[in-house]
């Protein structure tokens, strides 16, 4: 087990190094940030001085080495437009994104698993077919368009929910969160639902497929023969067995929720990391773009590692396969 | 299975496909969408890019309004007086074109890479599959966004981004299918005949790994279209000169708050119809082409 963890951590570190080099070369080597940073009326000497001050006259590998050394101390450069360290800027915005993603995940789980169970137990009933049709729609609808339609219905026509911002926030353990007061909750509802829609459809399909398969197994027949009520068969025996793939998917999809939050945050002007990324791309704020990508790659590496570990804890067969590989 | 033996594979697939009414509806819709996209210049009431045909007095008309010159705006008009119906027809053309182009390119790259990995094995395969795994562990939208942030805007750039995002799916599928096929007797026979490696790969192995690829390619076209629309909506996709459906929707977003819903709503519905019909066809193709579900 320890060997497995060490190997995975080393692999992750290598992946991170490769990604950082790619991003560095991609963002820093293409185009010259001096053109954006300096006054266009500056003369040659001034440009040379500024270039030297930023270390841009050094060969690329020296610049990359400097960048790596600073990165290890947690310094990924200062934002051009906000003039504060990029890392600090992103960490300020992170709680909003994480809160949004967590809420979306909770909505997806609370609705998706029960609906999937219902559709899996009675696959031919009209309500099951409706659920499945809904999930196909949820897969096909582009997230951003659903967001617009939500705004159109609930903000413009009905006027029930606000369409932009985070509303009033409450401090929870020093972190500002929206869900603890009514104003924040009202602001949170639409973006969270919008972000949840795709994962909701995914969970419905997964749960339904798992349930249909599990209901044909011998242990379900045995439990039935024993005279157990359906509630117990489904709630204990079936659910336990279908949860392994579902837990994995929930874990893995959390990362993609944070990525897709970019779209939702842009639509609802939710002040999270994703909106920060789009704003930074629009004003070519390179340190922020690089810092965002590196931080999100780190998050993905960590999430993947946790999911792998959880998986091997939940399912002994995986542990054996992992140890042999 | 008797009787089926004399049928050609294509006829069997077509017959199985026709079993599902939903898939047929999807196929019919898709064909209609394709006709509209290809024939856009001939059936549109107006050329939305020809500034001489636009009249700023016609801007932001509600659906079903008749303009002073007798022109009927069935789906309303946008802020520049452009007929939404025409804009959607032309937008469909761009969205479908980009999606198909990107998918074909990605398919070609994935095929070659996947076949190479499966055939040569060893460190070649290890390196290729590591890259594929690494890439697939990140959401496509993130990769595309970062790429476009680096490359900048443009039709060629968005195609590059979409291809970069997609090729790994094909590479993985092709490798999986080819690994199964390469140990079969017909490959052995071809090797014994001392045929060249490219010939064995592309003439013998390739036709046998195609069915799963066709299914993935169908669904991926839908993904590519949705992704392109999303990127364009975020302002990183298509340039303003060639408005895809995503860009039309983004354009309507600015007017949504004032209740002018039609500028965003109808392009979105067109996008939805396209994606759903492709998905319906893809779903049924998956069942039809899956040998494990054959009776």
**Chain B residues closer than 8 Å to A278 by CB:** 234-235
Q: Where are the alpha helices (DSSP H) in chain A?
A: 2-29, 33-37, 44-53, 60-72, 86-121, 126-140, 143-150, 182-215, 218-225, 230-232, 239-268, 273-282, 286-314, 316-324
Verify whether the Cβ–Cβ distance A142 to B275 is below 8 Å. yes
Q: What is the DSSP letter of B56?
A: G
Q: Where are the alpha helices (DSSP H) in B121-154?
A: 122-136, 140-151
pLDDT tens for A165-190 read: 777 777 777 677 777 777 777 888 88
CA distances B192 to B96, B184, B196, Å, are 44, 13, 11
Tokens representing residue B165 in the block: 């995002």
Q: What is the DSSP letter of A152?
A: I
Among candidates A231, A238, A180, A252, which has minimal Cα distance to A209? A238
Is the minimum CB–CB distance between A136 and chain B shorter than 8 Å? yes
Which strand (E) or helix (H) includes residue B287? Answer: helix B262-289
List the single best residue of A140, A258, A306 to mutate versus B (max B Cβ within 10 A).
A140
Q: Which residues of B touch A (CB under 8 A)?
A: 134, 137-139, 141-142, 145-146, 149-151, 222, 226, 229-230, 233-236, 246, 249, 252-253, 256-257, 259, 261, 264-265, 268, 271-272, 275-276, 279
Q: What is the DSSP letter of B291?
A: G
* Chain B nearest CA to A173, separation (Å): 30
pLDDT tens for B178-203 read: 888 888 888 888 888 888 888 888 88
Verify whether the Cβ–Cβ distance A259 to B222 is below 8 Å. no
Q: Is B259 exposed, middle or buried (0-12, 13-18, 19+ CB in 10 A)?
A: exposed
Strand, coil or helix: what is A323? Answer: helix
* Chain A nearest CA to B111, separation (Å): 25
Verify whether the Cβ–Cβ distance A259 to B139 is below 8 Å. yes
Q: Is A43 exposed, middle or buried (0-12, 13-18, 19+ CB in 10 A)?
A: exposed
pLDDT tens for A31-90 read: 566 666 667 777 778 777 777 776 667 777 777 787 788 777 777 777 777 778 888 888
pLDDT tens for A123-149 read: 788 888 888 888 888 888 888 888 888
Among chain B residues, CA nearest to A141? B272
Residues in chain A: 325
**Chain B residues closer than 8 Å to A149 by CB:** 265, 268
Verify whether the Cβ–Cβ distance B139 to A260 is below 8 Å. yes
User: Across the A/B interface, how many CB contacts are shorter than 8 Å?
Assistant: 95
pLDDT cut 90: percent of chain B above it: 6
Q: What is the mean pLDDT of chain B?
A: 81
Q: What is the mean pLDDT of chain A?
A: 80
Residue A232 scores a pLDDT above 50: yes
Tokens representing residue A311 in the block: 């998986």
Classify strands B72-73 and A175-177 as parallel, antiparallel or unpaired: unpaired
Is the minimum CB–CB distance between A266 and chain B shorter than 8 Å? yes
pLDDT cut 70: percent of chain B above it: 89
What distance, in Å, lies between the first and last C-alpha atoms of chain A?
Answer: 12
Among candidates A303, A277, A301, which has minimal Cα distance to A290? A277
Among candidates A188, A186, A207, A204, which has minimal Cα distance to A102? A188
Residue B294 scores a pLDDT above 60: no
pLDDT tens for B245-278 read: 888 888 878 787 777 778 888 888 889 899 988 8
User: Which of A278-292, B90-104, B232-246 is predicted most confidently?
Assistant: B90-104
ipTM confidence score: 0.78
Verify whether the Cβ–Cβ distance B264 to A278 is below 8 Å. no
Among candidates A235, A229, A232, A226, which has minimal Cα distance to A117? A235
Is the minimum CB–CB distance between A152 and chain B shorter than 8 Å? yes
Quick one: pLDDT at residue A323? 46
- Alpha carbons A145 and B229: distance in angstroms, whole number: 9
SS (H, E, C) B88-126: HHHHHHHHHHHHHHHHHHHHHHHHHHHHHHHHHCHHHHH
- Alpha carbons A33 and B17: distance in angstroms, whole number: 56
> What sign does the dihedral A300-A95-A144-B249 (CA atoms) show?
negative
Residue A317: band (very low, low, confident or very high) from pLDDT cuts 50, 70, 90: low
Q: What is the DSSP letter of B145?
A: H
Specify whether the CB–CB gap between A135 and A201 falls below 8 A. yes
- Alpha carbons A163 and A223: distance in angstroms, whole number: 50
Tokens representing residue B154 in the block: 């443009």
Among chain B residues, CA nearest to A275? B234
The interface residues of chain A toward chain B in range 21-50, judged by CB-CB distance below 8 A, are 23, 26-27, 30
Tokens representing residue A122 in the block: 């009675």
Tokens representing residue A236 in the block: 């204990």
Which strand (E) or helix (H) includes residue A172? Answer: strand A170-172
Tokens representing residue B124 in the block: 């070649």
Among candidates B237, B235, B213, which has minimal Cα distance to B225? B237
Among chain A residues, CA nearest to B152? A281
List CB contacts of A21: < 8 A, sequence separation 6 or more: A64
Select the residue of B137, B141, B259 nearest A304 (Cβ to Cβ): B137
**Chain A residues closer than 8 Å to B231 by CB:** none
* Chain A nearest CA to B147, separation (Å): 8
- Alpha carbons A300 and A255: distance in angstroms, whole number: 6
Q: Regarding predicted confidence, which is higher, B65 or A109? A: A109
Verify whether the Cβ–Cβ distance A151 to B256 is below 8 Å. yes
Residue A177 φ then ψ, to 5°: -130, 155
* Chain A nearest CA to B235, separation (Å): 9
Specify whether the CB–CB gap between B246 and B239 falls below 8 A. no
Select the residue of A140, A151, A157 nearest B275 (Cβ to Cβ): A140
List Cβ<8 Å contacts ≥24 apart for A246-249. A246/A113, A246/A203, A246/A206, A246/A207, A246/A210, A247/A310, A247/A311, A247/A314, A248/A307, A248/A310, A248/A311, A249/A202, A249/A203, A249/A206
Verify whether the Cβ–Cβ distance A148 to B256 is below 8 Å. yes
* Chain A nearest CA to B139, separation (Å): 6
Strand partners, A175: A172
Instruction: Give this prediction's pTM.
Output: 0.82
* Chain A nearest CA to B186, separation (Å): 31
Verify whether the Cβ–Cβ distance A152 to B265 is below 8 Å. yes
Quick one: pLDDT at residue A224? 84
Is the minimum CB–CB distance between A278 and chain B shorter than 8 Å? yes
Among chain A residues, CA nearest to B226? A142
Burial letters A21-35, b for 16+ CB under 10 A, else e: eebbebbbeeeebee
B54 half-sphere exposure, CB direction, 13 A CA radius: 19
Quote the Cα angle for A119-A210-A204, to 5°: 45
């Amino acid at each position: 087990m320890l060997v497995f963890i060490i190997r995975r951590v080393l692999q992750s570190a290598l992946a991170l190094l490769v990604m950082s080099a790619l991003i560095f070369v991609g963002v820093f080597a293409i185009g010259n940030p001096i053109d954006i940073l300096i006054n266009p009326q500056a003369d040659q000497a001034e440009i040379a001085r500024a270039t030297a001050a930023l270390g841009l006259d050094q060969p690329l590998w020296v610049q990359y080495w400097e960048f790596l050394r600073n990165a290890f101390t947690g310094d990924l450069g200062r934002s051009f437009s906000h003039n504060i360290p990029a890392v600090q800027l992103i960490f300020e915005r992170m709680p909003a994104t994480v809160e949004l993603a967590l809420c979306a995940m909770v909505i997806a789980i609370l609705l998706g698993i029960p609906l999937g169970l219902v559709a899996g137990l009675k696959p031919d009933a009209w309500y099951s077919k409706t659920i499945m049709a809904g999930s196909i729609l949820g897969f096909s609808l582009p997230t951003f368009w659903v967001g617009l339609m939500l705004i159109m219905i609930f903000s413009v026509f009905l006027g029930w929910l606000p369409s932009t911002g985070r509303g009033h926030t409450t401090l929870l353990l020093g972190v500002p969160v929206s869900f603890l007061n009514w104003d924040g909750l009202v602001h949170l509802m639409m973006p969270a639902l919008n972000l949840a829609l795709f994962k909701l459809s995914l969970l419905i399909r997964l749960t339904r497929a798992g349930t249909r398969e599990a209901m044909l197994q011998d242990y379900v027949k045995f439990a039935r023969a024993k005279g157990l009520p359906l509630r117990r068969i489904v709630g204990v025996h079936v659910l336990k067995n279908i949860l392994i793939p579902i837990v994995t998917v929930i874990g893995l999809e959390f990362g993609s929720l944070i990525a897709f939050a970019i779209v939702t945050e842009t639509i609802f002007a939710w002040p999270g990391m994703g909106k920060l990324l789009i704003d930074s791309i629009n004003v070519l704020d390179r340190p922020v773009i690089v810092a965002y990508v590196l931080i999100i790659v780190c998050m993905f590496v960590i999430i993947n590692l946790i999911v792998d570990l959880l998986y091997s804890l939940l399912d002994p067969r995986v542990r054996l396969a992992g140890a042999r590989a | 299975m008797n009787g089926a033996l004399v049928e050609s594979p294509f006829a069997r697939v077509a017959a199985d496909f026709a079993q599902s009414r939903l898939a047929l509806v999807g196929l019919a819709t898709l064909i209609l969408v394709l006709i509209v996209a290809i024939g856009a210049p001939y059936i549109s009431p107006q050329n939305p890019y020809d500034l001489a045909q636009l009249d700023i007095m016609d801007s932001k008309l509600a659906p079903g309004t008749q303009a002073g010159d007798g022109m009927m705006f069935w789906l309303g008009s946008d802020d520049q007086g452009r007929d939404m119906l025409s804009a959607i027809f032309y937008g469909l053309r761009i969205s479908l074109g980009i999606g198909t182009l990107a998918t074909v390119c990605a398919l070609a790259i994935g095929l070659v890479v996947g076949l190479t990995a499966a055939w040569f094995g060893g460190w070649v395969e290890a390196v290729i599959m590591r890259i594929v795994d690494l890439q697939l562990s990140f959401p496509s939208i993130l990769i595309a966004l970062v790429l476009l942030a680096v490359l900048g805007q443009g039709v060629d750039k968005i195609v590059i981004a979409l291809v970069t995002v997609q090729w790994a799916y094909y590479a993985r599928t092709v490798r999986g299918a080819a690994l199964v096929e390469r140990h079969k007797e017909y490959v052995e026979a071809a090797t014994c005949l001392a045929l060249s490696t490219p010939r064995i790969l592309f003439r013998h192995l390739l036709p046998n790994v195609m069915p799963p690829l066709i299914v993935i390619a169908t669904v991926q076209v839908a993904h590519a279209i949705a992704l392109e629309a999303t990127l364009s909506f975020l302002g990183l996709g298509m340039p303003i000169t060639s408005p895809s459906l995503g860009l039309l929707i983004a354009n309507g977003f600015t007017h949504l708050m004032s209740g002018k819903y039609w500028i965003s709503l109808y392009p979105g519905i067109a996008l939805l119809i396209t994606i759903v019909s492709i998905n319906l066809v893809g779903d049924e193709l998956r069942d039809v082409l899956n040998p494990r579900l054959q009776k």
